[in-house]
Amino acid sequence: MRSGRHVAGSRRIGYIAAMSSKRAITYKASGVDIEANDRMVELIKPIVRATYGPRVLGAHGGFAGMFRLNGDSGLLHGQCKDPVLVGCTDGVGSKVLIARESGHLDTVGIDLVAMNVNDLLTLGAEPLFFLDYVAVHRLVPEQVAAIVEGIAAGCREAGCALLGGETAEMPDVYRPEDFDLAGFAVGLVDRGRIIDGSTIEPGDAVIGLPSSGLHSNGYALARRLVFREAGLKYDSVVPQVGCPIGDELLKPTRIYVRPVLSVLRKYHRKRVVRGMAHITGGGLPGNLVRILPEGCVARLDPRSWPLPPIFGFLQSLGVRRAEMFRVFNMGIGYVLVVRPAFAQAIVGHFRRRGLDALVIGRIRRGRRDVELI
């Protein structure tokens, strides 16, 4: 097993004696393969260890993982006087069906990490470590290893350790070939540096960071539109999109941790970032409003950023514009509300790091809301 990971069940139940037939019935015959779990663990050991830094203590494969939190660990560059732990959990939703049906399992692990660490980031927190839960009908070591490899890749991109996880083989719960994912992230922020939107005021600028596509939200609608309404296959090339539709739908969620933390560190003393939102289910209207104080309305201009082709294609299949903005990120995956005098400098900072950031709106006085003008 890896740190905290095991197949659901226990080695203590090696077999059950069948009293009537005098026949030994094995755990494997009931649908749980301990040997497959052992193979899977050996496959993922080097993948998981590659995410470890000096703050991870203990050997791989224990019942729980340990992460060091002391003054010389380098957390927040030694500037954390009153440390606050931040935790969150999320999944990938029905995007796992796209992965399963297409046979490409190597990107949904990145999605799983992204959905969690991007949420942590909105409070100004630095991700420390990540835990995963993988539930399957039948354990195929190579398939789980591919998923975990994606999780590890996401952890490396976010700068956090993959501290442990759980693999549950449950043939009585999941149908053949089914699987599901859940992730759990823990981060750290100095209490005096928490960013919660409470200082947002009229006049502030709204900066949008581009998404890499649908990310991990709206897939129930996207799947219906693409496969039922349009009748497409995974390898169908949509000219408007420019690639096989399956590849587009499986583009991993962008991880914003490193570029956003670089902005927070650059303006550590000036406190120019006043609020941040991860644009997930609910789109821009449903997520940006969560950080706005009373008396502030965010007015956004959708013409100020390019709309990725996938969204125009989905809308053309019969979805109203308002519904598109309510369900999908529409090309903006993360938002920062900043002091107006620093907006262009922050945009330039992101662009030098490869993110085409844009000022997409302003905060005005009004009833707490998000308006698309």
Is there a domain that residue 341 lies in? yes
**139, 163, 192 — which closes off a domain?**
192
Please tell me whether residues 294 and 166 are part of one structural domain.
no
Please tell me whether residues 331 and 182 are part of one structural domain.
no
Q: What is the pLDDT of residue 304?
A: 96
Please tell me whether residues 165 and 304 are part of one structural domain.
no
Please tell me whether residues 232 and 128 are part of one structural domain.
no
Q: What is the pLDDT of residue 245?
A: 96
pLDDT 10s digits, 193-204: 999 999 999 999
Q: What is the pLDDT of residue 24?
A: 78
The range of the structural domain enclosing residue 162 comes to: 15-61+75-192
Confidence band, pLDDT 50/70/90 cuts, at residue 9: very low
Confidence band, pLDDT 50/70/90 cuts, at residue 294: very high
Is there a domain that residue 68 lies in? no
Q: What is the pLDDT of residue 210?
A: 98
Please tell me whether residues 162 and 210 are part of one structural domain.
no
Please tell me whether residues 234 and 281 are part of one structural domain.
yes
Please tell me whether residues 19 and 107 are part of one structural domain.
yes
Q: Which of the 8 DSSP states describes residue 191? A: G
Please tell me whether residues 25 and 118 are part of one structural domain.
yes
Provide the 3-class DSSP secondary structure of residue 93: coil
Q: What is the mean pLDDT of the chain?
A: 89
Confidence band, pLDDT 50/70/90 cuts, at residue 99: very high
Domain count, the chain: 2
Classify the phi-psi angles of 268: left when phi > 0, otherwise alpha if psi is within -120 to 50, otherwise beta.
alpha
Q: What is the pLDDT of residue 74?
A: 52
What is the percent of the chain with per-residue pLDDT over 90, rounded to a whole number? Answer: 75
Confidence band, pLDDT 50/70/90 cuts, at residue 270: confident
Is there a domain that residue 20 lies in? yes
Q: Can you tell me the mean pLDDT for 118-147?
A: 95
Please tell me whether residues 217 and 345 are part of one structural domain.
yes
222 to 91, 212, 252, 317: CA distances (angstroms):
17, 16, 15, 10
Q: What is the pLDDT of residue 59?
A: 67
Half-sphere exposure (Cβ direction) of 157: Cα atoms closer than 13 Å: 23
pLDDT 10s digits, 222-265: 999 999 999 999 999 999 999 999 999 999 999 999 999 999 99
pLDDT 10s digits, 29-85: 767 777 887 877 788 788 788 888 887 887 666 777 788 886 444 555 556 778 999
Contact by Cβ (8 Å): 2, 49? no
Higher-confidence position of 96 and 58: 96
**170, 192, 214 — which closes off a domain?**
192
Confidence band, pLDDT 50/70/90 cuts, at residue 319: very high
324: domain CATH number is 3.90.650.10
Contact by Cβ (8 Å): 328, 217? yes
142: domain CATH number is 3.30.1330.10
Q: What is the pLDDT of residue 6?
A: 45
Classify the phi-psi angles of 318: left when phi > 0, otherwise alpha if psi is within -120 to 50, otherwise beta.
left
Query: With the C-alpha atoms ordered 152, 220, 249, 257, is the resulting torsion angle positive or negative?
Result: negative
Please tell me whether residues 20 and 155 are part of one structural domain.
yes
How many CB atoms are located within 10 Å of the residue 140 CB? 18
Is the model's pLDDT at 2 over the cut of 70?
no
**169, 192, 215 — which closes off a domain?**
192
Is the model's pLDDT at 10 over the cut of 50?
no
DSSP 118-176: HHHHTTTPEEEEEEEEEEESS--HHHHHHHHHHHHHHHHHHT-EEEEEEEEE-TTTS-T
Q: What is the pLDDT of residue 332?
A: 98
CA dist 254 and 257 (Å) reads 9
What is the percent of the chain with per-residue pLDDT over 70, rounded to a whole number? Answer: 90
Q: Which two tokens stand for residue 282?
A: 């609910």
Please tell me whether residues 220 and 292 are part of one structural domain.
yes
Please tell me whether residues 45 and 135 are part of one structural domain.
yes
Q: What is the total residue count of the chain?
A: 373
Higher-confidence position of 47 and 366: 366
Q: What is the pLDDT of residue 4?
A: 46
Is the model's pLDDT at 178 over the cut of 70?
yes
Q: What is the pLDDT of residue 125?
A: 95
H helix count then E strand count, the chain = 11, 16
How many CB atoms are located within 10 Å of the residue 350 CB? 21
